[in-house]
Structure 1
Amino acid sequence: MDIRRLLSTSTLALALGGLLVSGCSSGKSASGASASATQAQAPNAAPSPDLASYYGQKLKWHACGATGFECSTMTVPLDYKKSADGDIKLAVSRKKATGPGKRIGSLLVNPGGPGGSAIQYLQGYAAIGYPAAVRARYDMVAVDPRGVAHSDPVECLTGKQMDAYTQVDETPDDKSETKKLTTAFRNFAQGCEKHSAKILPHVSTVEAARDMDILRAILGDKKLNYVGASYGTFLGATYAGLFPARVGRMVLDGAMDPSLSSLAMNRDQTAGFETAFKSFATDCVTHRDCPLGTKSAADASHRLEAFFSRLDAHPVPTGQSRKLTESLGTTGVISAMYDEASWPELRTALSHAMAGNGAGLLALSDSYYERESNGSYANLMAANAAVNCLDLPPAFSSPAAVTAALPSFEKASPVFGEGFAWASLNCAYWPTHATGTAHRIVAKGAAPIVVVGTIRDPATPYKWAKSLAAQLDSGTLLTYDGDGHTAYGRGSDCIDTAINTYLLDGTPPKDGKKCS
């Protein structure tokens, strides 16, 4: 389990991806971390001569996927600082505006991750699930970011190795278990270096944002229209910081706070999952079938902690060769926090697991990790770690540092704190050094940017949206008083109307607008 992955929104039901970070301003960030004052690298200048060929390329489109979709491949430099070092290919897909109405331009979408396939999101949801009026006037477009899915994917472990990795105990009780955990982190990192050494230093969010600007130019758009969810909000905000004058209509849903250090971010997210679990527990105890009792949310929390402790000592059969361990069980519960529609499934899965059948919780965990029934895994978790560990210095440098921070994580979440703290150690063993730092993003001069926050969002706590909206020179905060991760397209007419109006006529909602 790696909590620094933020899952995406949409009715694709926990199959796509979401996490991590960038910006501009001086002084200290809200977390106390030093904030960068650098705005960008000539953000609004014409492409430099060594990039002109990339900006001027023509895409060759061909039919792909379901009816109406087209696919192509774009070329970008592996290293923007040394464009002579070679190229990489990025997969692109689109579905043209259907009409009626005058075409506005392209609308680039990203579901989060880092590591979520934007093309899968486009073809499986956005290009058919976004409102008809939006699809009528925009070409719906997606590019898998570098290192993700169809774009030179980062590869680390085999399916069997990933099975072993996801089962490692992340609440070590002694030195022996701690060593097993750190060995697992090292083996994962070494696997990534072995299989993906060339691209590993070049999958940062800044580089992915620069790729998006090349795509904008190739598509013939003067400005970038964009909807990003979860980690996609950090990618979009990073673009705005680099190219403020090229920002069109931009929606950042389930926003991240780029001013936070990795430690602060992981601890905040721990608290976010605690908030989400309390909401689930409050609902659960009102149902007769609640496996955590019908007394109170606090009692339900204690019962879940006790269940995890039992799993730690005695994993539960699942009907497969894999048993439900504490780590897999925890991930299963976490996965259901992203969408309140999953709460009934979680109640059933917990009931069965507590009775000795862990198949339901294992299925939820497998969905989170994008594990297929044949034992293979998508590259989501590999890309997730690669981007996260490049974007920010590690939260912890050693097991001793984790131990020292445990009280603060356990305070943030008595249920999940210990496991989340240890999961935050993974980047300490990464083979490439971080190239990014925590910093504020101002994007001075950008068109209005709509920042959306959900009050009980587990993965991107609401205070992150408030912070990002305040940082952005043109930020407008739109609040959803609800549960689950992200807000657009999740059942609130108020939220959807505000965003659709902005996308279609450019009028942002009033700053501070609140919906339920």
Structure 2
Amino acid sequence: MLKPVSGVLAAAIATAVLCAASAHAQQTTVPARYTQQHLNWQTCDDAQSLECASMTVPRDWHHPDAGHDLTIAVSRHRAADPAKRRGVLMMAAGGPGGQGRTRPAGFVRQDPAVGAAYDVVSFDQRGVGRSSKPTCQTGPEMTEFLAHDYRDRSAAAIRRVLDNSRKMARDCAERSDGLLPYLTTEQTAHDMDLFRSLLGERKVSYYGPSYATMIGAYYASLYPQHIERAVLDSNIAFNGSWQDFETGQPASFQRRFEQDFLPWLAKYDSVYHYGRTVAAAKAKWERQRAALAEHPLTDGSVTVGPNQFDSATINAIYEAANFPALASSLSAFDHWKTATPKEKGTAEALSANYAPGFLAEYFSVTCSDTSWNRDTGYWVRRSAKDTAKLPLAGARELAFSAVCADWPAPTAPKVKVTGDGLPATLMLNSVHDPATYYEGAQRAHRALHNSRLVTVTGDGDHGQYQNGNSCVDHVVDDYLLNGKAPAHDITCQGKPLPVPTAG
């Protein structure tokens, strides 16, 4: 059982262990003002079951005396049974752009056994939430970036998209006080190890979903000696570049839409009246989108145009549990004037634009972690093909990729993920996950030596642990609580798709 160390001994361990790890990972001595700080834990003002604190980190871990310090907001949920406490389980949030600080509260509610055995800790990574973060654009500016119709391939429309993307990159660089080069996954991994050391722990276990699989893989690669157990859920292809990974997403989103959602929608035509076949349902979806391109729907401060219509579909198909809400929203667009407040609220929530803070972190990480093709002509040509063949997510490829093409050139060190020195690691992925697609997870699995891949068949949900699949939950809990990793890759059957309910 791992137990926390306190007082002077904790500070000594923090300094010695972090400096040793730092020398191994980056050949940099970490100043004592970071390694000997004390976390002032207080009840979180927005999550009463958690304690929160602030941690000071260098802006650049490779040059800790250069530039102003950053603040990382951290949290913890103390083990419910101190007598059986076995250590710390560290979490991180996905995105990039998600906030992790309050997540331990929901995590331990879902799995009290893990909450009894571990102090579950998390943080808002640099760039989001209550941690130091960049400023890119205002709400109205972000609305313009996401406006119009990304499928429009006219010369004027392409110019507008490229101008908006260049403006996004320029605004981020000009308004963020030099922070952008340091909002990377590699820098976050060093923040995590300082957090570990300040908790007085020689090793931690880790759980991370979505983008947090990349955070975990980078951390484990830089600090393998500090990992006890790790669960990576719905995996980024973290062994390659963001460009390679993101250009694979249009195919996986289209697959999820056409092979999972549309057949489900056609099956329940008696409920949603959207078409009895996949072809009919898809044709109606396209007609609705075309109508919104011609005449966007405005209701108060909310405008739903074709890009927002795409977003509603993209956002919903991350989890099959959202299929009924999406289907109801699609039906509501047909009778908007008579739609109920509940129908309108659901449709507007699904169609909502990204928040400025989310995209600021998203672009900071994806554009700065790894290099991108900086030829906008290449992206115009590629996006034309993906818009034609894989339009659901392919239509927005130009806008998002062009931001990274105009981003300041990345300077982050390359982190090679191998799994060397790690214990058996669990990886979870469904076969039709639209965002962290299975093919990318397989590549990451091959790169991460000694990992075990739990493939969830007949399923496309993004995020498998604590998602109602007893097979997955049993495998993960047995691993976290008892240290029992599968001897080899295994499969779990996915959950049944939802059945519509009245009302």
Same fold by TM-score greater than 0.5: yes
Structure-2-length-normalised TM-score: 0.86
Report the 3-state secondary structure (helix = DSSP H, G, I; strand = E; otherwise coil) of the residue aligned with 1:510. Answer: coil
Which of 386, 389, 403 is equivalent to 2:367? 389
Is structure 2 residue 207 aligned with structure 1 residue 227? yes
Gaps of 5+ in 2: 1-20, 338-343, 494-503
C-alpha deviation, 1:111, in angstroms: 2.5
Query: Can you list the C-alpha shifts for 1:19-54, whole angstroms capped at 9, x where unaligned?
Result: xxxxxxxxxxxxxxxxxxxxx975479x95434442
C-alpha deviation, 1:437, in angstroms: 7.9
Is structure 2 residue 487 aligned with structure 1 residue 507? no
Equivalent residue for 2:57?
76
CA contact (8 A) 1:292 1:300 kept: yes
Structure 2 Cα separation of the partners of residues 42 and 74 of structure 1: 21
> Amino acid of the residue matched to residue 116 of structure 2?
A
Equivalent residue for 2:3?
none
C-alpha deviation, 1:104, in angstroms: 1.3
Structure 1 Cα separation of the partners of residues 301 and 39 of structure 2: 47
Equivalent residue for 2:234?
254
CA contact (8 A) 2:186 2:415 kept: no
Report the 3-state secondary structure (helix = DSSP H, G, I; strand = E; otherwise coil) of the residue aligned with 1:126. Answer: helix
Which of 287, 292, 315 is equivalent to 1:306? 287
Residue pairs, 1:2-13, within 5 angstroms = none
Which of 95, 114, 121 is equivalent to 1:113? 95
C-alpha deviation, 1:244, in angstroms: 1.6
Count residues with an aligned counterpart. 462
Equivalent residue for 2:193?
213
Equivalent residue for 1:35?
none
Query: Can you list the C-alpha shifts for 1:136-173, whole angstroms capped at 9, x where unaligned?
Result: 01111111111111111222222232233322432233
Which of 91, 96, 115 is equivalent to 2:78? 96
Structure 1 Cα separation of the partners of residues 142 and 399 of structure 2: 18
C-alpha deviation, 1:259, in angstroms: 3.3
Structure 1 Cα separation of the partners of residues 178 and 415 of structure 2: 27
Equivalent residue for 2:348?
362
Which of 99, 109, 119 is equivalent to 1:139? 119
Query: Can you list the C-alpha shifts for 1:91-120, whole angstroms capped at 9, x where unaligned?
Result: 111110011652111111112011111013
Is structure 2 residue 395 aligned with structure 1 residue 409? no
**Which structure is higher in RCO with an 8 Å CA cutoff and minimum separation 6?**
1
In the superposition, relative to structure 1, how do residues 239 and 56 fare at CA in structure 2: closer, same or farther (>3 Å)? same
Structure 1 Cα separation of the partners of residues 361 and 394 of structure 2: 24
Structure 1 Cα separation of the partners of residues 288 and 416 of structure 2: 41
Higher helix share: 2
Residue pairs, 1:277-426, within 5 angstroms = 277-278=257-258, 279-287=260-268, 288-290=270-272, 292-295=274-277, 297-317=278-298, 319-356=299-336, 360-366=346-352, 369-370=354-355, 379-395=357-373, 397-398=375-376, 400-406=377-383, 408-410=385-387, 413-426=390-403
Query: % of aligned pairs identical?
Result: 29
Equivalent residue for 2:410?
434
Structure 2 Cα separation of the partners of residues 42 and 154 of structure 1: 29
Residue pairs, 1:125-204, within 5 angstroms = 125-129=106-110, 131-204=111-184
CA contact (8 A) 1:171 1:422 kept: no
In the superposition, relative to structure 1, how do residues 330 and 414 fare at CA in structure 2: closer, same or farther (>3 Å)? closer
Equivalent residue for 1:443?
419
Structure 1 Cα separation of the partners of residues 422 and 193 of structure 2: 15
C-alpha deviation, 1:276, in angstroms: 1.4
Gaps of 5+ in 1: 1-39, 371-376
Equivalent residue for 2:5?
none
Structure 2 Cα separation of the partners of residues 241 and 412 of structure 1: 37
> Amino acid of the residue matched to residue 369 of structure 1?
Y
Is structure 2 residue 449 aligned with structure 1 residue 452? no
In the superposition, relative to structure 1, how do residues 247 and 335 fare at CA in structure 2: closer, same or farther (>3 Å)? same
Structure-1-length-normalised TM-score: 0.84
Which of 229, 233, 238 is equivalent to 2:218? 238
Larger Rg computed on CA atoms: 2
Root-mean-square deviation (CA, aligned residues, Å) is 2.3
